[in-house]
Each structure stands twice: as structure tokens, then as C-alpha cells.
Amino acid sequence: MDADRFLEQLAAAPAKLQALYCIAGDEALLVIEVQDALRQAARQAGYTDRTVLTLDARSDWSSALASTQAVSLFGDRQLIELRLPSGKPGKPGADALQQLAAQQARDSAQGAPEAIVMLSLPRLDRTTRTSKWFSALEQSACLIEIASVDRARLPAWIGMRLARQGQKLDRDSLQWMADKVEGNLLAAHQEIQKLGLLYPEGDLAAEDVQNAVLNVARYNVFSLRDAMLAGQTERTLRLLDGLHAEGEALPLVLWAVGDEIRQLARLSAARQSGQDMGALMRRLRFFGDHERLARQALDRVPARIWPAAVRHAHDVDRLIKGLAAEGRMADPWEEMARLALRIARPS
């Protein structure tokens, strides 16, 4: 289930706890909220003895198994937190997690477990999902998978959080606020709480929000890539300006944009020759939203643009290295913007 559904279920029946919970996601704020809610429910149910273990492929996983079987001298039930930041347990860890899943499933079948295990994982990738140890967890654990809040969903997420504290903001102001906190959900949460402290319940004035909210956006090259593919010209330029202002290395920006352009040029040529686009996209590792945005860009950008864009990327690389490029401006950041706009707005 997702984070919101889990929190609703936990609030409705805080005493009905399972023996094993698996929380997976990279969105720090949402992960913390789920973990805190489960800790509180466990305390209320009498699981007052808490153990925290951070593990990786080289850890002694026998200690994790032993902690689930240890009985407190004072008769307190235990909440055991296992953290696997890398998401890669290694062979000993994989065996231990399969054993743990089977053990906790037996405990749940016998009634209220003596120990509750909360396993924290990063975002689940394809390798993890198909592993034996995760399949074992999936069968016996309550899996809470926390999706990242992307830019498209951010205004609605902000609106929902404001509604929880009795406040409402118009659509344009939600979009403006999303621009200011993009990529930094913890800061977004703080700004929403600040609005709750500064202003009463009800409709918020756009001017009040603009005076209160700081510009705390955090930018990354993959957001730039996605904005370019989606044809979002203003956002593409804003992200590029943000990366420049934050001191991001231009070679890294060019790598993200240039490599994407080279792969799309290859896909465009394959489409022109009638090749199987689906198979080639899988081979080039285009999946999910990335594949959708790539297809959108291929439909929007004429085939003749792609070879020119590849040459343009090579020219930006020359400028970064201090070499001249005929017909290009001297500032590589300016040329980087022109390159991104070739794809975002080919007209």
C-alpha cells in the first residue's frame, strides 16, 4: 500500500499490528512520517523496547535474527528497526531476510507477536523486486511503498497538506509555490507549516504566500532532462539557471542532456527505418515515465533536428574544454540552454 493508505489504516486500527513491516522509498519526509506513525502505534500497543540496526552486505546478519528472538528481561515487547540504506543485503543478508520473513509469518499466525520488525529500504529497483529475499518479504510483510512526489503532482500534494491544516490556496499560487520548493519536500513541509502558524484557517491570499515562502527549490540534472523531453520551456530554463546558481558542474549537466539526445537520435533513426521501437527502448533502458517522455519528445521533434542536436552537444563539450566552436557563443552555459531548447521547443 502507499503511505497515505497505511497511515489511514493505522489511525483506524492502531492495535492491529503485524509482525513485519517493509517500508521502501527515497522521499525522506514521507518515509519519516510512516516510521514515526508505526513507532507511535507500537508504543501504544506495548512494544516499548526498541532496537535499531543499520546493515549492509558485510554486516553480521545473525545479530538481526537473534534480536527478533531475544526476550526482554522486563517482559516488554520489542520494536526492531532494521535499516538497509544500500538495498543490497548480499548473500548472507538475503538468506537472513528469507529466514526472518518465515519466522515473522509464523509469529503473526500465533497471535500478537512478541517482536515487530520494521525494515527500511530505498526505492525498489527491478533487481530488488525480482530477488528471492524480497519475494519472501512481499509474501509475509506489510509492504509500504512510498513514491516520490514529482513536479506534476507537487501542487496537488501542497494543496492536500494545506487542507489538513484548514487552509486553501488557488491553483496559480499552488503552481508558484511548487516552483519555489521543487525537489525539496522537507522544505516544502516546513513552508506549509509556516503558513499554518502565520495565517488563520480559510483561503490564503497569494500575496501573503509569496511574502512568506522562501525559494528553497533543489535542482538536479534528471529533472532538467525530463522537463526538456516534456517540452516545458520555461521550466527547462529555470532548472538550468538553478543548476548554474547552485554550482553544478557543467560537464555533468551536458552528460545528462547530451547522452539523452544521442540516444533519442538513435531511436529516431530506428523509427525512420521501421525498427521495433519497444525492443530498442528496453535495450537502451527506457522504462516507465522516462519512456513516456522520450516517446513524447520523438513525436514532437522532427527527425532532422536530432543529428543537429548531437553536433550541438559536441560543440558545447568543446566550449567547456576552452576550445572554440564555430557559430556558437563563447559562454558554454548559454549554449547549453540553446541545446536544451532545441528539444524542448524545436520550433
pTM value surpassing 0.95: no
Question: Please, are residues 309 and 346 in contact by the beta-carbon 8 Å criterion?
Answer: no
Question: Please, are residues 343 and 237 in contact by the beta-carbon 8 Å criterion?
Answer: no
Q: What's the distance, Cα to Cα, between the start and end of the chain in Å? A: 43
Exposed/middle/buried for 170, CB within 10 Å: 0-12, 13-18, 19+? middle
pLDDT means per 10 residues, the chain with 347 residues, are 82 81 92 92 89 91 81 70 93 92 79 86 92 92 90 92 94 89 88 92 90 79 91 93 90 92 94 90 85 94 94 94 90 95 88
Strand partners for 203: 168
**pLDDT value of position 114:** 83
**pLDDT value of position 75:** 58
**pLDDT value of position 184:** 86
21-73 pLDDT, tens digit per residue, is 999 999 989 999 999 999 999 998 888 888 999 999 999 898 888 887 765 55
Exposed/middle/buried for 202, CB within 10 Å: 0-12, 13-18, 19+? exposed
**pLDDT value of position 71:** 58
Question: Please, are residues 87 and 120 in contact by the beta-carbon 8 Å criterion?
Answer: no
**pLDDT value of position 228:** 95
Q: Is 20 helix (H, G, I), strand (E, B) or coil?
A: strand
205: which DSSP letter?
Answer: P
**What is the per-residue burial (b if ≥16 Cβ within 10 Å, else e) of 23-50?**
bbbebebbbebbbebbbebbeebebebe
Cα 38 to Cα 4, 109, 119, 231, 292: the distances in Å are: 13, 20, 12, 41, 36
Q: How far apart are CA 329 and CA 325, in angstroms?
A: 8
Report, in this order, helix, strand and coil percent for the chain, each rounded to 5.
Answer: 60, 10, 30
Residue for grid cell 515562502: 213
Domains within the chain, CATH numbers bracketed: 3-145 (3.40.50.300), 151-214 (1.10.8.60), 221-344 (1.20.272.10)
Q: How far apart are CA 242 and CA 246, in angstroms?
A: 6
**pLDDT value of position 74:** 54
